[in-house]
Amino acid sequence: MFARPLSRPAVFALGAASLAFASGAYGACSGPGAPSNTETKCLTAIEMPGKALRSFDISFVNPHRAEFYFADRSNAAVQVIDTRHLTHKRSLTGFVGITLNGTGGVNNNKSGPDGVVSHGRWLYAGDGDSTLKVFNLDSPSPAPVNGGTISTGGKTRVDEMDVTSDGELLIVANNAEDPPFATLFAANGDRSFNSVSIIMRINIDPTIIPAGEGLSIEQPAWEPRTARFYVSIPQIANNPAGCMFGGPNYCQGGLLIVDPHHPQAVYSHFDAATNTGVLALHDCGPNGATVGPNSNLMLGCTPQNVPTNTTTQVINAKTKNFVEIAGLTGSDEVWYNAGDNRYYTGSSRACGLAAGCPNGGAVPGVVDGTSVLIEKIPQSTNSHSVAADSRRNLIFVPQVAPAAVVGSGGDTTTVGAGICGGMKGCVAVYVHHVDRDRDRDDDDGEHGDHNDR
């Protein structure tokens, strides 16, 4: 299980002048991405060494190590940021980087790194060549450990992933295979040596995810009270009956529920007796998944998967009851932060602001633990990755560089340059000031924001 913090989450009274930033960070935070009327304030921006950011994927925070990690395909590295001093710390290397398609755009299916997760000294990351890479964060070496490059047997990327509370079991998704599949690994836990190995390849019944339809599986989330992995599936067959993947009666998504202690090679329809299998969702084709308080899971429903999706959903892992959050949709990664009892979303597909976003830009949505939308803040185009440090209530949101600098995939707005204070892209750092009297210990959402691994 997680190591529980010794004290309540730290309360920050931060301002740009209160921290000493290294030369890699610059206090920018101007324009629409730094509004003065939001509770979540833009604090600073951190520039990465190397190439301007054109393509990146998932983020993760390990607050015990005070480190933020994100998958920077532009520089073929997992970038590590010190969340105490808000400086770039180092780059973990050995990835394929950006692979282009026939038109010169980024081929996400074969680029890397992609998914990333950490427990203790170990970091796990997916690459575009269908490999899982394992890093020892206590080692000075930036390369994967010996024996730490493991193929899942596919031809496309190892994408999103999650790990159990004790760090012993890891599940990863090959989202771009046809049909997609997951792989369950025995992970390193708290050991000082690498022993990662494949336990089982996990497939889904072809009557649920048929081959040849270009379907996917997305972000897993570990829920400790039910001891299950919950894996987002953007669309499944016959949900509702007679639906079509391409519409006009669109098929909705599902959740693959896996008991990693009793895994199955093939999962079919949901079995309430075992709380495993594929659960059909209502009005949601999810990408992201994260676990919040009371065994609730936020799902990043998105019109990219199902054009009729206009809300974000929170579903209970035990009862399967759910609520829909209006005014927020189009999320990829979603994250629960126990430090302030809020969810944060990387919503790049549907801005939802009353006045709109410049040229259809993105937002991080901010939702409280009772599933009420608080606010949305404009971001650069394709801003879809978000993670929070629960001990410091800092929220990290990577921004692509302007399209004028990096071409296809770059920011087509001026929002990112204002946040970053430059033209290379950056990781924007937001802060939510929390009243100490309203802080709470992390009772049952500690894994939902991945924050005690």
Tell me the domain boundaries of the chain: 16-438
Return phi, psi of residue 139, to 5°. Answer: -90, 145
Query: Above 70 in pLDDT, residue 39?
Result: yes
Higher pLDDT, 293 or 14: 293
- pLDDT by residue (tens digit) across 227-285? 999 999 999 999 999 999 999 999 999 999 999 999 999 999 999 999 999 999 999 99
Given a contact cutoff of 8 angstroms between Cβ atoms, the answer to whether 294 and 342 are in contact is: no
The one-letter amino acid at 270 = F
Q: How confident is the model at residue 24 (pLDDT cuts 50, 70, 90)?
A: very low
pLDDT on residue 348: 86
Q: How many helices (H) and strands (E) does the chain have?
A: 2, 30
- pLDDT by residue (tens digit) across 209-227? 999 999 999 999 999 999 9
- The arithmetic mean of pLDDT across residues 165-179, rounded, is 98
pLDDT on residue 12: 36
Residues 6 or more apart from 129 whose CB is under 8 A from it? 96, 110, 112, 151, 157
Strand, coil or helix: what is 356? coil
Q: How confident is the model at residue 188 (pLDDT cuts 50, 70, 90)?
A: very high
Q: CB neighbours (10 Å) of residue 368?
A: 13
Q: What is d(CA 338, CA 335) in angstroms, rounded to the nearest whole number? A: 10
Q: With respect to CATH, is domain 16-438 assigned 2.130.10.10?
A: yes
Query: Above 90 in pLDDT, residue 372?
Result: yes
Q: What is d(CA 332, CA 161) in angstroms, rounded to the nearest whole number? A: 13
Assign 3-state DSSP to the chain and report helix, strand, coil percentages, each to 5: 5, 40, 55
- The arithmetic mean of pLDDT across residues 12-24, rounded, is 37
Percent of the chain, pLDDT > 70? 87
**Backbone conformation region of residue 185, classed left if phi is above 0, alpha if psi is from -120 to 50, else beta:** beta
Tokens matching residue 114: 């992609």
- pLDDT by residue (tens digit) across 293-331? 999 999 999 999 999 999 999 999 999 999 999 989 999
Mean pLDDT score of the chain: 90
Q: How confident is the model at residue 353 (pLDDT cuts 50, 70, 90)?
A: low
- The arithmetic mean of pLDDT across residues 70-78, rounded, is 98
Q: What is d(CA 444, CA 372) in angstroms, rounded to the nearest whole number? A: 19
- The arithmetic mean of pLDDT across residues 44-49, rounded, is 96
CA–CA distance from 373 to each of 255, 353, 356, 358, 444 (Å)? 23, 12, 17, 21, 21
State the maximum Cα–Cα separation within the chain, in Å, rounded to a whole number: 59
pLDDT on residue 28: 85
Query: Above 90 in pLDDT, residue 35?
Result: yes
Q: How confident is the model at residue 349 (pLDDT cuts 50, 70, 90)?
A: confident
pLDDT on residue 204: 98
Q: How confident is the model at residue 350 (pLDDT cuts 50, 70, 90)?
A: low
Nearest to 251 by CA among 284, 224, 300, 293: 284
Query: Above 60 in pLDDT, residue 2?
Result: no
- pLDDT by residue (tens digit) across 128-156? 999 999 999 999 999 999 999 999 999 99
Nearest to 39 by CA among 439, 376, 422: 376
Q: In what order do the strands lie in the sheet with 342-350?
A: 329-337, 342-350, 363-368, 373-376
CA–CA distance from 111 to each of 153, 160, 189 (Å)? 16, 13, 28
pLDDT on residue 23: 35
